[in-house]
Structure 1
């Protein structure tokens, strides 16, 4: 940062005062080079001038200070901000204090919460950030309602969401009961969080039962609810129930039914049900729902994973005739599929055929024998010479090619840009 500091000082001397963007760049730079002390000092020195730091900038400094275990300095910045009328809405803080010494982190969190210097969304982030989970037991809802803290639906939602993220299912459910007992009605976010979390944790059947129960209580599931459960049921192998839920959602006239179709198609493709997925794609236009690039990417990926790369390539040709443009993921999937089958000539043919489409990043895995490096050399040279990939892709390919001897020949060549 020495050069940057010199330029910063020269700006003032040359009558070109730095603006907010300059200040933020300097502070970000100090934090990125792990120099929290200078970032903290720089922030305080310039806070009283025209510089008004953003919440993100201050949050970054606070995070760096906490990583360095300088928690008092972190709290000091928060107080200073509040005095200037800048209240940090979201603060990303990771506490690195020893597990035995939890007093300082606890005091920071309590100070932030009790003085309403952060929202409960920030509280949720802190929930994930604090390394010592013992603190979380002490920061339970018994503190809410005291010393200026008022519980609301957002409060409970944030805590329930945070607990599920930490796989604390029993505790999350207990807070749901507390929420209801204290007169707060769970909303769509509450139920979607619970159902989605159970699906991610593999508790699919329980998630399905929860949906049935809450619908009976008056909850109206949305696209997110149906997609979470449909995908989870596919992963669980319960395709009949997944299709039943899908039909129910479509029957309700869901506006974003393309998302529902794509979710079910993805679930079926990942389980090898290619023909069933194809039937869904075929019926979409009849249901006034046109397949998009994501739809075909999922289907092509499913075909390639099963080794039907030629069929996937034919699908690509058909897609283009329908006016749907492929993207980087489409080409990545096909090229990777051909290379895994050692059909490198077919991979090159795709590149030649789509000369007008510059592949920015191509993830290629070569499965051919190490002794047979000629084909590898052809692929890489063809990618580079025809500008079908950038040098970032070149770097990725560098890791992918098994035989490193090629790079001794390619390393010093100058390729046309």
Structure 2
């Protein structure tokens, strides 16, 4: 029964989908004041009977991670202490380990990993290619203003193709011969009237999309030969490429662009909206209104949810599939400055990373709105971009002229199966 300060006993059932850690399905009486630490000790004591080594767990109580005392969690959810409480436990995702620091000559505003390479874009107008071990392969000049975004088009053992966008109002397509370590610009994409803030290549690598301070979303061919251009011969000779499609709808800068599939695009903007575009219809399919400028947005193919980064220090979770799209599913508190960049894991359905002007990266589980799983420290200045395209590494660029690399240790359980 509950005593006055809520520290009486509570009856709980302990459940897990990770069968190797299952304990008998019987009611356990525990103190209402327990936190994750005491629950871990209790659960590991039960598992000791099986001769298992101590394991770190997180505990889900009514679909949210326990981050304080159990009694406070139950009060907040208005759950009676008389009820039998089901607690689900999952093995804790291990802390990413800091690796190398890649030194640049200026702010690093764009990072994108693919295979064994990291592509970076800088405020000194250059692109750079690195290995995860910190070996610098190439500096690529060509843009005439700071780089704002980069993405890989294709990569194999012999060639890499990628695209970069800049405040010089262009996107540039590049071909890299890996053996000779030579790179050439194959196209300059012209059409935006202000700086180009975001870029994303379609899943089939046939097209890419750009978002700009001119409020326009433009779609371009990502193929080496752009047969779709009526002036293809002239364009090829001059190396200039024009957009295949221009989509109007945002009222301010487009800060985030992501393909949800080969014909559907997500955009986020300083105009406080998220938009989902249907390229077959050349129009907006869904619009989510928020009350904050969106600096970045990321859609997960694993759970179909969208997480946004904003000026008010918070991250927010939305579901683009519902009619209540504007309803925030969760708000994540932890940064204490503008959140500039966010990205879902491509292999772990509950995990995402963020970077902010408080010089910090954070690794989150979407079921833990009150606190991140881990702070990824290292940057001495604001974080401008973060990337988790390679499941093994989280990489981020900052205004301290560095890229920080964190190795994402894989949990022993395949894919942290908890669904």
- After TM superposition, the score normalised by the length of structure 1 is 0.25
More helix by share: 1
- Highest relative contact order (Cα 8 Å, sep 6+), 1 or 2? 2
Larger radius of gyration: 1
Query: Comparing both structures, which one devotes a greater share of its residues to strand?
Result: 2
User: TM-score, normalised on structure 2?
Assistant: 0.25
